[in-house]
């Protein structure tokens, strides 16, 4: 009898909860919730790959501001420019944190001390200052322009060699990935690690990077349901092994640079001093400010730059070239612009990009249709706030559905059509909060300038130097692969 009473009271409690929770939510003015949350997993059951399309479908069906629950985490999903603006301007400070308890933050974010994963505070602000002033400033990027030009020239020679060998089809995805990775490794370490065979250090480095990208796209149930973390034990073991291998290699590189660094006092050697790799810049700063430049902090900075500045740019270039192959009239117009401005007597240079507005429109339209991070890395509210008239409690994970905003037919005319002309006369790659491929607010991507230079120079050079056609004249499939970053399902 007591068991029966317990079950009866439990059933009554569950029914009351189901019947009253919508009324309570309405009374509290919380964002609408489209489905009932399942026990333990919440709304995780509605997520199907590709996640980007699933989020967009939810927006179409239920509206641009939704309240969900991923496991035990409350989630605010935003697909409306005005609501995104509220989150990233009026409430920017409230949403400046990252969710805690993610395996990626613990192991790839070096224990939540990297720029990507660190909580908002003095440490994060210092990392942001270092990135803006010492690493990714316009002056610093200009000093290292030769590296980007050199790697693009190597790619051109690689493709010419393939054509000379009679290769009818060329795999562009690995070539673009090698280019972006070598740009980053030369900027950071002063070394090339891709396109090199038989070198043990390069092989170790490539394996670690490949493992990092694989784990970054892993879905870990414990991130959303902490008391089910034990289900992720195999994944966590892989995270741990990767972290150990990465730290061993990075510390070897740091020690190597310490041994090789020489004090540069001769005024005549100033140019070489300015063009030294990032790791030497950080080690020099460590001498004067050791509390800000500990080895583990330097490791986090270098890893953030390496991961954030390579795969995303390579993906954007792949999408851009695929779109051009499917739209030969756009490709022809871009070729005409480059031929008119530059001609055939010299190769395109980075300084030419500001004089090629149609090329800039092509890149911007590519970023609109296929943003590198279609949902951005989640934010988390550190205090109660109001978004779109709805109450948002402290500890809510903010999921900005960037792809849905940038492909919304209510905002863009024919958003599924590739139309670079829509950006003619528009300055920059961000248009308010309806177009922000690099995010906005305090947590926006600090590497936007570098990404635009690498993508612009590479795509412009490929257009200038070659005639392009799809294999067998077929229209390319533009389906998206599953994962958190946006890649083509069929590599180019």
Binding positions for heme: 445
Residue numbers belonging to the annotated binding site: 445
Q: Cα–chain-centroid distance for residue 24? A: 37
Sheet holding 397-400, edge to edge: 65-70, 73-78, 397-400, 379-380
| Cα(43)–Cα(73) distance, integer angstroms | 10
Q: How many C-beta atoms lie closer than 10 Å to residue 298's C-beta?
A: 23
Distance CA 88, CA 96 (A): 8
Beta carbons within 8 Å of 472's beta carbon, 6+ residues apart: none
Other residues' Cβ atoms within 10 Å of the Cβ of residue 243? 18
Distance in angstroms (rounded) separating the CA atoms of residues 36 and 22: 9
């Amino acid at each position: 009898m007591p068991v029966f009473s317990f079950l009866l009271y439990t059933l009554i409690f569950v029914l009351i909860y189901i019947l009253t929770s919508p009324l309570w939510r309405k009374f509290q003015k919380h964002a609408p919730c489209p489905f009932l949350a399942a026990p333990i997993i919440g709304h995780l059951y509605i997520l199907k790959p590709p996640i980007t399309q699933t989020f967009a479908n939810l927006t179409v069906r239920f509206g641009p501001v939704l309240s969900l629950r991923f496991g035990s985490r409350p989630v605010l999903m935003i697909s409306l420019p005005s609501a995104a603006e509220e989150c990233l301007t009026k409430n920017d400070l409230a949403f400046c944190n990252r969710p805690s308890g993610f395996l990626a933050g613990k192991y790839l974010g070096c224990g939540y001390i990297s720029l990507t994963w660190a909580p908002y505070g003095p440490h994060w602000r210092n990392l942001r200052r270092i990135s803006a002033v010492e690493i990714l400033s316009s002056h610093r990027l200009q000093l290292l322009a030769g590296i980007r030009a050199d790697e693009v020239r190597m790619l051109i020679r690689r493709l010419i060699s393939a054509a000379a060998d009679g290769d009818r089809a060329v795999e562009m995805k690995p070539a673009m990935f090698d280019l972006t990775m070598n740009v980053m490794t030369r900027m950071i370490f002063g070394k090339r690690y891709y396109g090199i065979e038989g070198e043990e250090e390069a092989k170790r480095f490539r394996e670690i990077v490949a493992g990092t990208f694989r784990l970054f796209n892993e879905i870990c149930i414990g991130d959303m349901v902490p008391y089910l973390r034990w289900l992720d034990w195999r994944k966590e073991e892989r995270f741990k092994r990767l972290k150990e291998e990465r730290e061993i290699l990075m510390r070897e590189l740091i020690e190597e640079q310490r041994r090789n660094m020489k004090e540069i006092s001769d005024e005549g050697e100033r140019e070489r001093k300015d063009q030294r790799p990032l790791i030497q810049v950080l080690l020099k700063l460590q001498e004067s400010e050791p509390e800000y430049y500990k080895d583990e902090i330097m490791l986090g900075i270098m890893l953030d730059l390496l991961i954030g500045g390579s795969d995303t740019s390579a993906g954007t270039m792949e999408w851009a070239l695929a779109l051009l192959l499917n739209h030969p009239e756009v490709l022809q117009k871009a070729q005409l612009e480059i031929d008119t401005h530059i001609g055939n007597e010299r190769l395109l240079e980075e300084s030419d990009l500001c004089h090629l507005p149609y090329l800039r429109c092509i890149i911007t339209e590519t970023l609109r249709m296929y943003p590198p991070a279609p949902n951005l890395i989640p934010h988390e509210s550190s205090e109660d706030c109001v978004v779109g008239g709805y109450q948002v409690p402290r500890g809510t994970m903010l999921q900005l559905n960037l792809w849905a905003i940038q492909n919304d037919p209510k905002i863009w005319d024919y958003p599924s059509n590739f139309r670079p002309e829509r950006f003619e006369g528009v300055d920059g790659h961000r248009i308010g909060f309806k177009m922000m491929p690099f995010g906005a607010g305090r947590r926006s991507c600090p590497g936007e300038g570098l990404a635009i230079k690498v993508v612009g120079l590479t795509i412009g050079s490929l257009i200038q130097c070659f005639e392009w056609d799809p294999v067998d004249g077929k229209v390319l499939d533009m389906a998206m692969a599953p994962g958190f970053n946006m890649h083509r399902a069929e590599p180019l």
